[in-house]
Copies of this chain bind each other. A is one copy, B any other.
Amino acid sequence: MSLPVLLCVLFLGCAVQPPVVDPLPSWNETGAKTRILQFIERVSNEAGPDFVPVADRIAVFDNDGTLIVERPTIVQFEFLYNRIKEMAPDNPAWIDEQPFKAVLEDDRAALRSMGFRGRRPLVDAAQSEVFQEDYDAAVKRFLENGRHADFGRQYLDLVYAPMLELIALLEANEFRVFIVSGGGIDFIRGFSESIYGVPRDRVIGSSVKTDLRQRGEELSIYRKPGFASMNVSRFKPMNIWLHIGRRPIFAVGNSDGDLEMLKFTLQGGFPSMAILVQHDDAEREFEYSDDSVEVRKYAAQNDWVSVSMREDFGRVFVSDPVPAN
């Protein structure tokens, strides 16, 4: 090998071209994929007119329905139900008291009909009056042992493969990726690093009130009843500001609770992109649009990137087999 060629190889450039690898292999070759790839290339190209400095390359992803299956129930509610059952022996009165009764009897129809407010006591009972470490351990147990009723797989097997690839591609282009979810911040932290590759400090979510209490020799975080913040709708941009202190330039969501976050992302001074995931694949996932009436209207009017799970996802879940090419 001559010295010039050796130098080329050492510096991974010039004469030897690396093979072209598709960074989004689980995406079909559709317009959505093209627009996403072009956007990331544009803002990362230092020589181009749409270059965005690394510090401002902030991407935000909703969680339920955007990164992971949310039907028939969001995963965290399955955790709550499971934990209520775990705790039931110590709370004998629950068997006659709603909404606990419905959980203990597996009466899903009753739970659905109660709405979020009716189910709310479950949230406090299952997630507060407990030290943070014990809560984290309960989340871990559930994620290891729980199974999705329809798919029979672990919940974390029902993360969307195309979205994991998109997160990795953004990180490779020096974006900093944050999860911005209506779900509980500490629940999502139970798997954000191992599954999404998103560090715990880049998770923003709903949070409960806390206290600092002595536990033996240690000061520990104690979870109190009641929400400190419900991270949906207008509160998503407000919590983005609190945690990140910047307007994102890239946002992905799937429901009306993401509308303000998507708008907020598009209204900064940099080139930006908003993506709306549509659940239109009854065969491989679920088909529903009842929770995205407003955002779909707005997305259509404003030419946002619409991602159809049926059309644009070549593979849906990380646990699905990789199709032979």
Contact = CB atoms under 8 A, between A and B. Distances in A.
B176 A201 contact: yes
A201 B245 contact: yes
A212 B260 contact: yes
B201 A244 contact: yes
A195 to B, nearest CB: 14
Contacts of A176: 201
A82 interface: no
Interface in A250-268: 260, 263-264, 267
B186 A219 contact: no
A104 interface: no
A208 to B, nearest CB: 10
Contacts of A207: 242
A230 to B, nearest CB: 14
Contact of A212 (B185, B212, B218, B237): B237
A238 B260 contact: no
A97 to B, nearest CB: 31
B55 A193 contact: yes
A264 B213 CA distance: 11
B132 A219 contact: no
A258 to B, nearest CB: 13
B55 A246 contact: no
Interface of A: 3, 6, 10, 55, 132, 176, 178, 185-186, 189, 193, 199-203, 207, 210-212, 217-219, 221, 228, 234-235, 237-238, 241-246, 260, 263-264, 267
Given A132-B241, A201-B201, 11 more contacts: A10-B10, A176-B201, A178-B201, A185-B242, A186-B245, A200-B245, A201-B246, A203-B245, A207-B242, A219-B264, A243-B243
